[in-house]
Amino acid sequence: MFDDNGSFLLAMFEFFILCAWFMSLFWIFGDLFRSKDLGGLAKTLWTLFIVFLPILGMLVYLIARGSGMTERALSAQAEAQKRQDAYIRSVATPNGGKGSVTDEIASAKALLDSGAIDASEYEKLKTNALARSTA
């Protein structure tokens, strides 16, 4: 298969180029579909351009839209971090993200005063809130 060291090194270089091309292709498609400033038709045209003329399409995409790739990636990461922080806060609160016990009792009292619930339901909500606070 490999006659000498030169052909092995050339095959290794070609394999490296192939891996770099696939990695760039995934980055470009990720950026293309994450982009909020392009509509469906523009994304379709870019996809067809990149699929049918891969190297030229990738180079044109990087020239035309490459400057905003970092900003789009950073904004997507910031949004994901914000969602993760909100989830962690909702899970980490003592009573499942519902607020404090006094808030629960106050909202139950407001429901009782408005007539949405009766006194037995209010007592049930109150005992549940107090039980969660002691647990």
What pLDDT is stored for residue 4 in this prediction?
72
Output the pTM of the full model. Answer: 0.57
Q: What is the CA radius of gyration of the chain?
A: 29
CA 109 from chain centre, in angstroms, equals 39
Across the chain, which has 135 residues, the per-10-residue mean pLDDT values are 74 93 92 89 94 92 90 91 89 64 85 88 88 73
Residue listed under structure tokens 């039980």: 131
What pLDDT is stored for residue 89 in this prediction?
81
Task: Give yes or no for a contact between 49 and 20, defined as CB atoms under 8 angstroms apart.
Answer: no
What pLDDT is stored for residue 92 in this prediction?
74
What pLDDT is stored for residue 9 in this prediction?
83
Q: Could you tell me the two tokens for 112?
A: 């009782």
